[in-house]
Structure formats: structure tokens, C-alpha cells
Chains A and B, each alone.
Chain A
Amino acid sequence: MTHTPEPVAPPVLQMRGISKRYPGARALTDASLEVRRAEVHIVVGENGAGKSTLMKILSGAVRADAGEIVLDGSKVELDSPLRARKLGISTIYQELSLVPHMSVAENIFLGKTPTRWPGIVDVRRMRQEARRILDSLGVSIDSDAPIHSLRLAQQQMVEVARALSDNARILVMDEPTSALSQREVEQLFATITRVTSNGVAVIYISHRMDEVFRIGHRVTVLRDGRHVATRDIEDVTAAELVRLMADREVADHYPRRRHALGDELLRVDRLNGGGLKEISFALHRGEILGIAGLVGAGRTRLARAMVGADPIAERRVVVHGSARSIETPADAVRAGIGFLPEDRKQQGLVLRLSVERNISMSHLSALARFGVLDGAKERGEADSAIRSLRIRTPGSDQLVLNLSGGNQQKVVLAKWLAAHADILIFDEPTRGIDVAARQDIYLLMNQLVENGAGLIMISSDLPEVLGMSDRILVMRGGRVTRELAAHEATDAAVLQAALGVPA
């Protein structure tokens, strides 16, 4: 660590004895959190540990059943998001809350637009103020640009700017880097450092160990809705944190077991169009092919092109040795290709349908005779998937909405396995999934390749790509710029190729 806050900074925030029950579930039990001025306070815990609920209570979105919140020495009642914002608590959610067709400046001043005469917007002052705040963050974003023209990382900066324009004392960030590329993460960290140097406290929720140690000053661990420990970052190790979170030793982060590869499963030959250029590669049975690159390098576009999700100019795909024309996702399903999208909730699942109905969605006609479904067969398949993939759910009739991120991902996987897909494309397979569930996903990936499947794994998590892949393709600007075998792949080699820096 290069920077530490003054030794005993006074607590700006104390949350004590916070409890919250939802119907049938206890989210928080006597939880506490103490945050000092100008520190980056990391909150970690498995999904379901109560992090989100605690943050929702802090942001005024949810009311606690019991407990007190003390802000700068005085007790406060956070009964609405507006109240929390007025008291200087700003929250930046995973899903950004900006208006896409309005400008950066307009978004920063949404709800508090400076006016000249009553009702007339003072455009010049708004622009100047926006400019000033953005400059203070050290980011170069045009204050007149519409939000939808910005990259995700830039949009996040705008959110931060908006929080600062509220004179925030506390900034809550919920997994802010989950969609960012390595370079954007650096920018964000620089911004966070600037924010804290102005005395603002940042509460930072993350699943990534490297981040915890990069930017954190102190860390609080929650487990099963209770406060487990708060430590100075210097006094704790990653293994210790994982143990505190899961209450068990996770021995090996990446339990990959490599085997000899089998026959060629899939060959992509000179795929062009939609921003992709001359992409060729092959995938074998028993192989995990990692695809690395910065956000915007075309990795997700490649995946979507391969499964016919987007129209594309030229696509030659050979599956199991025979050329297939894949124009629609339905063609891909028939060819045995399954796609596990990054955004599971928007693209992978129908949240308000049950586990079994989500699983059967990929192969309904195989479960039916003359269009009439065999309900028993459908349920049997779902129940056996729940057992074999260890999906934690009260039953196959549970709505997917109610499952945790890791279990939702398993439902998406079950959907493809039930459709007999043996080529599986994982886009950010462990994004937003807690440490223990990640292990489970990795073990399942191992099991799949042992059973002869071929996996393509797109990931922005470099240790994950390095730890799990047999081979790594690095993409940059819509091209595959480098291919690395597992033994020659290092952080540096992948990053160099991704950034286009000569070795």
C-alpha cells in the first residue's frame, strides 16, 4: 500500500445492530459497519451475505427493522433515497441510472438543474459546473455529449460526478469494475483516489481479491447477514478473507485439470463483418479456449456472431466436421452450440418463470409430442439437472428470480446441457458470482470438458483466463491478435497483446 489515511480518522458513518427480515428470509441480523473519513472501505461476502441489503438500507431504498445509523456523530433516519442523498450518501449501482438521451451535464444536474429565471435552465452555468466537477475527477469527458455515446466506464465517471455534485460524504460503489476493461479499471481507481483525498469515504463492494488489496484501506466481511470481521488491509491475506467469507478453506482458486485434447469440434473460418475481421480458430473436445481482450475488443460480438444472434456478413462455421449455416440462434441450438451470455438476467433467463421452464426453453419440441409437452419428462430433466449441477433451489418450480447469481448461471448451463449442446460459449462466466459459487462453476467446467465438451470462455478476469484455459486467443480491435498456449500464457503476455504493446 502506498497511501494510508491518517491513523485514527473519526468515523463518518456507524451502522449498529441493523436487522432486516424479508418474508421467509433473514437478510441481516445485528449487522454493523463503521466507515472512516477519506478511506476506501471494502465490503466482501458471499452472495446472500447481506451486502446488498445493507447498502440498500444505507441508500434509503430499504428500511431496516431494527438498528441505528449514525452519520458524523448524529443519529439519522434514512427513510427515502432522497433523504440519504441530501445527507451526503450517494450510491452507484451496478446498473447505471443515467438518462441515455440527455447530455453529461444534464445528467449530472438531474433533479437540481441550475435555473436563471424560475423554470429556465441556466445552460452556461450547468456546463461550467459539470466541467469543473469532471476536471476535479481528472477525466476528459465532453459535458455536452449524450450519455449513450459514452463507454460504460465513462458513464460510471458521470455517476461519480453526479454524486460529488450532491456534496457526497459517502460514496457507495457496488462492483463498479465488473464490466470494465483493465485500463478503465485503472482510471476508476485513480478517480477513487482523488475522491478520497477530498475527504469522501468510499464504500466498495467487490468480489475481486486483487482489487481489495489494490485500493482498500480497511475491509469488512459479512457472512449470513452478520458482521464477521473488520480488518486493516495490511493485516489480512486473501486466503484469510476467503476463509472468513466462506468459513472454509478454498484450497485452489483455479482447479483446472488439463487433459489430452480430442477431435476437432468446431472450426470458424475467416469470420468477417459486424466489426470483426478475419477471425479463424478451432475448438477441440476436452478443451477450454479462453478469449481475452479489453472491453470493446469484439469478444462478445464474436460469441454472438457464432450463435447467429446478430446478422453478420460472412460466417463459415464447421461443426463436427460438416459445414453448418448458422443464421439464427435456433440454428446454433440445432448444431449443439450453447451460449451463456454475460448478462444472464437480460439475455439468459426468463426471471419470472420457474427453474424447470427455463431449462426446457431450449428444447421444447424435443419434450413434446404433437406440440403437447410431456410434463413429467420436463420435471424429471429439471430435477436431475438440479442434482447433478448442485443448483440450490427449494424446487424445480421455484422462480429463477429468487435464485442467487451462481445458481442462476447453473440454470443457464442446465438449459444447454438438456439440449445436448457440446460446444458451450461462456461470456464472463463468473461475473457477479461469489467466491464459493465460482469454484463450483469452475468444477463444472472441468467436468464438462472431461465428458468431451468443448468450452469457449470469454473473460475480463485475467487470473481466471490464465487459470482455466488450455489455449488463449487475445482479441484487439475486432481481430485475434495473439494465440497463446497455457504454458506460455502470462499476465504480461496477454496484456501486451490486448493493449497492442510490442513485447
Chain B
Amino acid sequence: MSTTPRNRPSAYAIVGWLLAAAVLVGLAVLVALNASSVWNSFFPPEAKSVQGQAIRNLYDIVFAIAVVIFLIVEGLIVWTVIRYRRKPGDDELPPQTHGNNLAEVTWTLIPTAIVIFMFVISLQTLNSVDATSAHPNLKVRAVAGQFQWSFDYLPETATATDTTKPLFTVNVPVGPDGGLVLPAGQTTHLFLRSPDVIHAFYVPQFLFKRDVVPHLVGEADNEFDLDIPAGDAGQTYRGQCAELCGIGHRVMLFEVHILAPADFAAWQQKQIAAANATPPPAPSGAAAGPTIPLVAKNVKFDQASLTAPAAGFTIHYDNQDVGTPHDFVILDNTGAKVYGSPVVTGPKTADFAVPAIPAGTYKFECSIHPTSMFGTLTVQ
């Protein structure tokens, strides 16, 4: 190819510039048509918690500083580029400036002052966001497991390492009968617990997220306070898991419903009553042979092999995984299902009466977690 660069703009260049111009004009038109919504898109949603409002105030300051710095520096780049073009045929060298100590000290000290200012205001906001009330009105533990949220409403004495039973649990994360229900004008203290992988509690309207980190029993949950403004009763916000947790990550949604304090109290009483009314797991099949205990914990069974009589037996099933569903299935050596129990979402115990099955060797498993929860059942 014998093209001399710069003299013959090729077809590609013309197409490229036209495309670029079309895109820029298109964007300009879009922006002009929706000036206010474009402006709003540079800000987070309106904050619906006291902590979120503090974060929003900080965001606005950081945004203002960022825009000013951007305009100055980007403007300087553009101006320099336009102003100092080399004229055709100009072979004279420009002044060979190697540096200027005063300028360099200046543009070290001024940015240092700006970032230290930003650090100080961030720290102040952080202290107010992280502050927790000694006497919150409500304590809730949000439990995030693959791939569902549930919310344990806890007694006043609950702590971050607590394993006692909640007053009641909301198992449905979305919809009018479920979700995280919070009282307006009050302080809720939240604990976050995961039985499996890392999730994150994220509600855009709170401008806040915190990871739900799995840990050993007895280690502290992540915890924080949420103060809901009094005027927001009746509102519903959307929450979502924000830390990749596997194939169902995207569907790990929940809703936050804000109720007036009186409505919340009534709702809470109703939930407690319903929880207490649930009959304890009936010891069904008591006559059917011996009872064999089996614990499901941390997505594992406590035993790898069980021995049972062929005449029938009862599995006393203890699912200790908060918010995680498990079941008990017996498979023969062809993989065919011999027995299947109902699903039990922990923490909960249940007794499964297994009918008489022929003697032999079987596999038992949790059909929801077959790769990690299984063992051998010997029937004699």
C-alpha cells in the first residue's frame, strides 16, 4: 500500500468520523430531551433511612469536588491540546522545560489537602453510619442462604453470636405477606448470618450494603442499625443480594415493608401468635421401631453411615442450618427412591417414620444438597 498518511482520508476514516458524530449528536439530543432525569441519574436514589441520608450528604460533597476537579483537569488537557498544536513546517524546538519545583510542590500539597479533607468528612459520616443504639426498638436477623432470604425476629436480649430461637421467622422474602417488615420512626438493629457462602444485604434506598459472611458458630454476625424516618410508613423497597453467591444469585431478592408503629405492633403480635400455635412436630410412627438421630449442620450430616432394622424405624431429624432447607431421602443401589421425607427448613427438628424396607445397603442423602450430604444406610 502506498498511501501517504494524513493526505488521503480513507473511506474507513470517513465512516468512523461519521459514526462518531452520529453517536455524539444522538447522545446530545437524548440528554437535551431528559435534562433533569439525566442529572438525577448521577445521584443515588433518595435515601430512606437516617444512615442513608448521611451517606447521601457525603456523596453530594464528594460528587461536587469530583466534578470541579474533573472540569479543571480535563479542561486543562483539552485546552493544552488545542492551544499547542505544531504548525506545519514549524521545525523550531519549543522551550525545553525540565520541571518547576514550585509547581510540583503546589500540585502535591493541594491534592493532599483535598484528599485529607475528604478522608475526614468520610470518617465523620462513617462514625454516624456505624453508630448503634444501646436500646434499639427491634432486633432482626437477616439470614441469607443459597438462594433465599429469611428474617428472624429476635428477643431484646439477642446478640451477634446468638443461637437461641427467634420469636418468629418470616420465610417468604417477597410479597405482601413476607419480606423484612420494619417500624417507621424507630431503630432496628440487624444481624446478618449465612449458613453457606458470602451474600450481601443491599437495599439501594438505604444507600447501604453489608456482606453476610458465613462463620463458625459463636463468632459474631455483622450488625448495624437502621433508623427509618417516621413519615415513610406504607413504603416498600426492593433489596437484593449484591455478592455473587452461585447460580441463583440474581433471584435472591427481598422486600422491605415499612409499617406505622401501631400497625407493626399488631403485625408482630399476630406473627408471634401464629408461631406459637404451630404444633410441635408430631412424634408420628412411634411404634415403628427404634429412633435414630441424624443432625444436618453446615450443609453436612453428622453421620456417614446408619444402621437400621428392616422392620421400620424413625429418623429424628435435626436441621440446625438456619434458613436452609434439607430433607432425607433413601435410594437403593439402582438410584431409585425408596423413601422421601418432607423438606425441613432449619432450625427445626422432625421425626420421619420410615416403613419396612428389605434388608440390604442403601444410600441416604439430602436431595437438595446431594453432593455434600449423603451416607450409607445398612438395613438388617
Do these two chains interact? no
Query: Which residues in B have some Cβ–Cβ distance to A below 8 Å?
Result: none
